[in-house]
Chain A
């Protein structure tokens, strides 16, 4: 079974530039998450989708971050404009629907803002 695919693996941008990350979840997983993991910290949930609808985006900095999952499969997370403090690993995860369904993580995209 293929895992959660993310691209790119690494990205370096200057502050105030924009950047986009892509995620392809495990086939059949209706729930998709984006997490931000700052170096030395645990992942923090940014946004959760179920199919193409947003379930929770309470911790997404909406003035600069946006995410979409238009067809209920792939998802894109965008940052515009980027700040130095956005340097982190952005992890995508997916799961089946249901309270006990575990989430599977991708390898992440490591973003460095200089």
Chain B
């Protein structure tokens, strides 16, 4: 079993839709939960991170962590074509030593 599991998609939605991206993890010691966005032929860039459980909101993006079920979510409201990218979840005991999920390829159709 991989430490971080993510549905690879691909996921295709119309512009303006709410997008839900999800991951599960298996290591109870993980405290940091990150979402990275990776455009084609670019390196990953940090979108949001959460420490321990709870929600975090930043503009159109909301990250949720449920440690009881080991479930990580990212919601994108009012999705835009510019949000089309691969989204990577990552978790670790520190923000630096991360285990990444497989990535979900997302396409927002105008």
| Residue ranges of A at the interface with B (Cβ–Cβ < 8 Å) | 4, 31, 33, 40-45, 48, 56, 91, 93, 95, 99-108, 110
> How close is B90's CB to chain A, nearest CB, in angstroms?
7
Q: What would 17 more interface pairs be, CB under 8 Å, given A100-B94, A104-B45?
A: A33-B96, A40-B8, A40-B103, A42-B6, A48-B96, A99-B32, A99-B94, A99-B96, A100-B51, A102-B34, A102-B95, A103-B98, A105-B43, A105-B44, A106-B43, A107-B41, A107-B43
Interface size on B, residues (CB 8 A): 24
Q: Which of B82-97 contact A (CB under 8 A)?
A: 88, 90, 94-97
Query: Does B45 contact A56, Cβ atoms closer than 8 Å?
Result: no
> How close is A36's CB to chain B, nearest CB, in angstroms?
11
Write the chain B residue with the least CB distance to A3: B43
Query: Does B102 contact A100, Cβ atoms closer than 8 Å?
Result: no
* A107 neighbours in B (Cβ, 8 Å): 41-43
| Residue ranges of B at the interface with A (Cβ–Cβ < 8 Å) | 4, 6, 8, 32, 34, 41-46, 49, 51, 88, 90, 94-98, 100-103
Q: Tell me which of B42, B49, B102 contacts A42 (CB under 8 A).
A: B102
> How close is A53's CB to chain B, nearest CB, in angstroms?
15
Query: Does B102 contact A40, Cβ atoms closer than 8 Å?
Result: yes
* B46 neighbours in A (Cβ, 8 Å): 102-104
Task: Pull 19 A–B residue pairs with CB atoms less than 8 Å apart, ordered by A.
Answer: A40-B8, A40-B102, A42-B102, A43-B100, A48-B96, A48-B97, A99-B96, A100-B51, A100-B94, A101-B96, A103-B96, A104-B45, A105-B43, A105-B45, A107-B41, A107-B42, A107-B43, A108-B43, A110-B41
